A and B are shown apart, each in its own frame.
Chain A
Amino acid sequence: MPFAGPPVNPLSRVFGALELRVLEALWARHRGATVRELAPDVAGVAYTTLMTTLDRLHRKGVLAREKAGRRFVYHPRLTREQLLSSVAGDALSALLGPRADDLRPVVSFFVDAVSNDDRDVLDALDALIRERRQAEDDAP
């Protein structure tokens, strides 16, 4: 089912503008930061507002924090991509609701989910493919 229109950042449906700025700043640092360390990266935001925002993101489960002396060091639990895919999946699950099995989107998948117990089967199949490939290569 085609759809028209510009792509929308799915994170903006879940997080406020300031929360997104804070998250982006943390991802850009590639390491954790205290409120004081992060403040220059989020210009124009009061220290207390930044502290409240970080605390809110921590309570939402997006940021982890650990005590360093008298301060907290915050770091993202997920990368930007992981968070995006999580939000994308959750948005769809929410839309589908409890009757997800009843009505599916019009989509065809190359491979469905397999269980961890099936690794042995996959190993055996890979061995078979290698064997067949070897036989083809050896053939004149």
Chain B
Amino acid sequence: MTSGWLGVLLGLATLALAHLAGEVVMLAADRAAARGWLDRLGPRTRAGLLLQARLAPLSCAALAVPLVALAFWRFEPSGVVESPGPILPLLSMAGAWLTGSTARRAWRTARTTRALDRAWRAAGERTRIPGWSGDAWVVGTPFPVVAVVGCRRPVLFVARDVVAGCTPAELAVIAAHERAHVESRDNLARMAFAWVPDVTGAGARLEDCWSDAAETLADLRARHAGDGLTLAQALTRVARMAAGPVPSWPVSALIDAGAIETRVRRLLAPASAPGRSPAGVPTVAVAPLAAAAALLALPTVYEAAEWLVRLGR
């Protein structure tokens, strides 16, 4: 096998191994969440950790694949023909499947999101919601939709019943809640979740935990920007409209009023600041160090890659 093909197989195999490592991280985080170890953390920290854990396969692949590719390019003698052992093709097949699955999930997510956007735009009309500066549409859905669709230019869709049934102050605080989601780039996180395959099922549970933390954070930010009582009132009012048959199109999760109760009680509790964004300085400082360490580790990475190529031969 030529070194070019060997490089391709090695890249795909690295992707599979990196995904495996990411799955281990997801399982560990899932266990920690199930035991309630994350409950003591603030919503911002919890959401951040859960996000990183869910995207661990992606992060591991983003680190490992370029590193192995660089090591292979740097140290592999050109023109050498080598026969790999049986493990490398098997791992590379798994890597190819993961790549295909990611591409398929990305395409389907984009398609369903665009379809939802189109369907609601076609069934609605442009409107203005107090406190929302972006694109907003009122839609005549039976379910009391209040939803932000999309990542790059998020659009707010609000059901006609919600616009008619809520006071302007309630609509403004609802908009503040949705704005908090946009500022946190929560839909970008949702899109990334949708892209990364979830082999063990731990990812779905982590997403639910993350969603809970993200909602809490958006509620707290909206309360910080406005009035907690009004947001609590808006929540129960919209929840009351939501009671009834489950809509035919997908909602993010089917929950009982228990979640609404938790959110309302949290809003009625004494106010606390939602927390500030973590400083970016440590990341900026750590990045060059990590890059230097990676460059120093290149010979070891190459040896590991060679071992993988020969494995089982």
Contact = CB atoms under 8 A, between A and B. Distances in A.
A136 B236 CA distance: 19
A107 B259 contact: no
B112 to A, nearest CB: 4
Contacts of A125: 232, 236, 260-261, 264-265
Contacts of A88: 119-120, 122-123, 139, 141, 249
Given A111-B260, A129-B229, A81 B140 contact: yes
A37 interface: no
B144 interface: yes
Contacts of A3: 114, 117-118, 121
Given A110-B146, A128-B268, A122 B238 contact: no
Contact of A114 (B122, B178, B243): B243
Interface residues of B, number: 74
A4 B216 CA distance: 33
Given A92-B112, A121-B261, A132-B229, A106 B122 contact: no
Nearest to A116: B243
A86 to B, nearest CB: 8
Which of A85, A104, A110, A119 is the most central at the interface, judged by chain B CB atoms within 10 Å of its CB?
A: A110
Contact of A7 (B121, B178, B194): B121
Interface of B: 105, 108-123, 139-153, 155, 160, 174, 177-178, 181, 186-187, 190-191, 194, 214, 229, 232-233, 235-236, 238-240, 242-244, 246-261, 264-265, 268
- The 10 tightest CB contacts between A and B, nearest first, are A118-B257, A110-B146, A81-B140, A105-B113, A1-B113, A88-B119, A88-B123, A2-B153, A121-B257, A84-B123
Given A92-B119, A111-B238, 14 more contacts: A1-B150, A2-B152, A85-B139, A95-B115, A104-B252, A106-B150, A107-B149, A108-B190, A108-B214, A111-B146, A112-B252, A113-B143, A113-B255, A132-B229
